[in-house]
Chain A
Amino acid sequence: MGIKTKERHRQSEEEKMRHRLQPATVLLYLTVVVFLSLFFTHPFYLLALFLAVAIVIFSFDLIREWSSYLKIGLCFLVVIMFVNVFLVREGATVLFLSPAIPGLGRIRITFEALCYGAGMGLRLLVIISAFCLFMYVVHPDGIIRLLGGRSYKIALALGLSLRLFPLMRADFLRIMQVQQCRGVNFHGQGWRERTVKTIPVIKVLLLSSLERAFQLAESLQARGYGLGKRTSFMRNRWRIGDKLIVVAICLVLCLSMWLVMRGQTEFHYYPRLQSVGSGDFFGAVFLGIFLMIPAFLNWGWKKWPTLRSRI
């Protein structure tokens, strides 16, 4: 990595608002999003959650990172729709009716089953997108600090795993390359032969990971890990940005409770899709706008330098 480019990269990383947010704020936001996505069945509200998270991801310049998560999510969406369409025979609007197939009977594909699969897939996309946001916005050290106290050991293990996973992946690729340089061909044969050829790579990887784990443990031991009661160095203060997001989350929860009590967040797919009214639309729009507050703050932070010292 060229030094100048790296320096620029470092500076641009420093300038991002997402790094100033408290891990607790981000975790609260994501927990609420995931919880609501599991609770809501109405596609309008699921779509509002998805769009809100997508816009926050977009404003945080994480589109490139999100795209790989999205690809996996879309694959799952297709699988869910496929499985739902073939297994669920409910629904009044028949799109396709196959002749009788021995053992399976007549396959009946309905519009409602298709929509139900899409709705469930959308829920999965919300959860996957929230996970992506968690991975790139919440620093592993932040989780360790957040949990602190008695949960420190678990948090340290979690933080180390998150940090070491990319290192292990890099090790794996490097060892593969080294073996290729010794003439090992990992491509073009049957899966059995490829597996056999990958075993040495995994062997080296495990040995190297074990050595690294040992060295890390020794470094921890030398720095007094496990002495007893430890303190926590919390440098980041709660900024106005954190507080505004927490207020927005509270508003979202209040609005959601009101909508739930009115029964607006439920949706019946079978036997026919229920009708939707303008109340559903406006409810989803308000919910989405409140959840987009981090994105609005980030854009404001980028545009008006005076806001930087405040948010």
Chain B
Amino acid sequence: MAYIKVENLTYYYPEAEKPALDNVNLQLNRGEFVLVLGRSGCGKSTLVRAIAGLLPDFYGGKLGGSIYLDNQEIRTIKREVLVQKVGMVFQDPESQLIMSNVEQELVLGMENLGLSVGLMQRRLMEVGAALVLHPYLQDDVTELSGGLKQKVVLASILAMQPEILILDEPTSQLDPVAGEEILTIVRRLNEEQGMTVILIEQRLERCFHLADRILLMEQGRIVQNQTDAGAFVQWATKEKSPFLPPIPKLFAGSSCARIPLTVKEGRQLLEKSSPHTFQNSSYNLSETCNTGDTNDSGKTRNALDTCDTCDPCDLLLQVKNVGYIYENGVEALKGNNLKLYKGDFLVLMGENAAGKTTLLKNIRGLLHPTTGTVHFLGQEIREKSVEEWAGEIGYLSQNPNDYLFLPTVRDEIVFTLKNLQLPQEEETSVDILLEKLGLHGLAQSYARDLSSGERQRVALASILAADPQLIILDEPTRGLDYDMKAQLGEILQKLQQEGRAILLVTHDVEFAAEYAAEIALMTQGTIIARGNKEEILSDSIFYTPQVAKLFQNLIDEPVITLAQGKLMLMKKIFQNSL
């Protein structure tokens, strides 16, 4: 008997003409780990909100069909029972924290349920110990890192002892290490407590292998409902679906009898591979070798950030010994040196609060270094105002919504042109830009109504309108699905090929591996390493893509992109066949 049963579920948001959920039917078993996949706006979040009982009570709109939890129709379950059955963790921890103090946040749900102080104390002790939150109980939540904030939210839900835990992209705002920690906790809850978990996640490499069931949604419908990950991989490969993590994607075309889901399985397969492991390989040599997505700027640098092969005339940005201390005395940056030339594509990585955003703001002139200098095209940044640099340096901050307020996408681009008093032959330049960023069909749309990836591109278009030579992007891949990330990566590579320099901060190792030319690692306010992506990413523990983990120590050459991985896999197949 299904534990969660969804029957003919259809839902319309208020004033919407198209349904967000279109006749969804689903049965989930108790204790299952369910992974929900799909593009932005496909109805994933709406479905889990319906299961959490937030529809239509909280959102309004029209709901048809039924949801049964443990054979009881959800609308007949009292709310105090429902909130103890289903716990939900949302995407952004900042927008879920109600109280200012960690302990008070943890007990909030229990207080709402009217539990006794003794019981609250016991559960507080348990969740505090399980999630290692005891040292922070008396802390101010605003002082915590993103990972800790999300742990606090998760703990506050767990303190209510739900039977079903729903997580809507819980790691999208976190760095790789913090993201792994959250998913490890979720996996433990599922495996050790038997808790039913429904997880929406875009970074599949972190959770695909954990799933007992994979659901893929499109336009409000469930198009795949698989309990066999291998079968899902086969289907996704056949349909060219982007919803595959790197390892299965890499092996999918190899006609391998068994598709590995994890790095461990992949490595075992490679180590044990015999001529019979890969049969009738469908790998196409020319296709694999001609992927052309290895982004190498062809420049060689040493540890002191001097470039031996760079033309000094191409130098755009020079950061010399930059340190920065905030007004509250916190030293966010110390002794940073960095040079960027035309055509550079550098990704800056590091833990949360390492000082990455502060460095970007110092480079853009939004903050002025406490020590050291920042020069752009030989001129010190502080000599001109922020707005005067807009034509030379583009800056895309973490939240694209900060840019968008005008009635149409076209207006957003024209706004920048007008501010900078650039020639107003808008019809051509704006159209070219819209075309370049794949926004032509959306020119007359209201930007805030678009999907997250589209909003990101509109915000990017609004800064590219100024035709900057250096483009700075802070966490542009947050919340983007595979397709959107690929589109963004390709756009950035085109801009790089046009000779613009790109400086990008991200926690997304897979994105960095595929599209960047170089990687710099930052910790505790200082850039501690910089080099080409193969050099940095193939030699790391956590800041390394899955493909690199697969081949680490098995071969001498660095392999970090899917294309390189395919080539290497093909060589392996070829060797084994001999």
Which of A's residues lie within 8 Å of B, judged by CB? 1-6, 9-10, 13-14, 19, 139-141, 144-145, 156, 159-160, 162-163, 166-167, 174-175, 177-178, 180-185, 187, 200, 203-204, 207-208, 211-212, 215-235
Contacts and interface: CB of A to CB of B under 8 A. Distances in A.
A159 B113 contact: no
A3 B100 contact: no
Contact of A219 (B90, B114, B143, B330): B90
Nearest to B52: A222
A33 to B, nearest CB: 24
A163 B80 contact: no
B462 interface: yes
Interface of B: 52, 54, 57-58, 79-80, 83-84, 87-88, 90, 92, 94-101, 103-104, 107-117, 120-121, 124, 138-140, 142-143, 153, 156-157, 160, 326, 330-332, 351, 353-355, 361, 364, 366, 385-387, 390-391, 394-395, 397, 399, 401-406, 415-416, 419-420, 448, 462-463, 466, 524-525
Contact of B390 (A6, A183, A218): A183
B331 A231 contact: no
Given A181-B463, A224-B80, A224-B160, A159 B100 contact: yes
B390 A204 contact: no
A218 to B, nearest CB: 6
B397 A174 contact: yes
Contacts of A219: 90, 95-98, 153
Contacts of A231: 110-111, 114-117, 120
B400 to A, nearest CB: 10
Nearest to B157: A223
B564 to A, nearest CB: 34
18 contacts: A2-B330, A2-B332, A2-B524, A10-B143, A13-B139, A182-B415, A183-B419, A215-B90, A217-B58, A221-B58, A223-B157, A225-B112, A228-B80, A229-B114, A230-B111, A231-B117, A233-B107, A233-B117
Contacts of B416: 182-183
A9 B140 CA distance: 11
A135 B113 CA distance: 30
B404 A204 contact: yes
Contact of A218 (B58, B110, B157): B58
Contact of A3 (B95, B115, B351, B401): B351
Nearest to A186: B387
Contacts of A203: 405
A221 B351 CA distance: 32
Contacts of B401: 204, 207-208, 211
A208 B402 contact: yes
A3 B88 contact: no
B456 to A, nearest CB: 14
B88 A222 contact: yes
B111 A227 contact: no
B84 to A, nearest CB: 8
A232 B111 contact: yes
Query: Secondary structure of the A side of the interface?
Result: helix
Contacts of A14: 138-139
A283 to B, nearest CB: 40
A224 B88 contact: no
Nearest to B366: A177
B462 A182 contact: yes
Given A178-B395, A224-B80, 20 more contacts: A1-B326, A4-B524, A140-B99, A141-B104, A159-B100, A160-B98, A174-B397, A177-B397, A178-B397, A180-B387, A182-B419, A183-B390, A183-B416, A208-B399, A221-B54, A222-B54, A222-B87, A226-B112, A229-B114, A231-B120
A233 B111 contact: yes
Contacts of A212: 95
B114 A223 contact: no
A238 B140 CA distance: 21
Contacts of A204: 401-405
Contact of B108 (A4, A5, A177, A223): A223
Nearest to B390: A183
A178 B403 contact: yes
Contacts of A217: 58
Contacts of A220: 98
A10 B139 CA distance: 7
A162 B99 CA distance: 10
A175 B385 contact: no
B124 to A, nearest CB: 8
A225 B463 CA distance: 42
A128 B420 CA distance: 44
Nearest to A177: B366
Q: Residue among B52, B58, B116 with the most chain A CB within 10 A?
A: B58
Contacts of A180: 366, 385-387, 390
Q: Residue among B52, B96, B120, B391 with the most chain A CB within 10 A?
A: B96
A141 B354 CA distance: 29
B76 to A, nearest CB: 17
B11 to A, nearest CB: 16
B361 to A, nearest CB: 8
A159 B100 CA distance: 8
B79 A227 contact: yes
Nearest to B367: A177
Please name the 10 residue pairs, one residue from A and one from B, whose CB atoms are nearest each other, closest first: A183-B419, A215-B95, A223-B109, A224-B112, A183-B390, A224-B83, A219-B96, A233-B107, A180-B386, A141-B104
B394 A181 contact: yes
A3 B466 contact: no
A156 B112 CA distance: 12
Q: Residue among A1, A4, A140, A203 with the most chain B CB within 10 A?
A: A1
B143 A223 contact: no
Contacts of B326: 1
Contacts of B121: 233, 235
Contact of B110 (A10, A226, A233): A233
Q: Residue among A13, A14, A211, A221 with the most chain B CB within 10 A?
A: A221
Contact of B330 (A5, A162, A167, A183): A5
A225 B79 CA distance: 10
Contacts of A140: 99-100
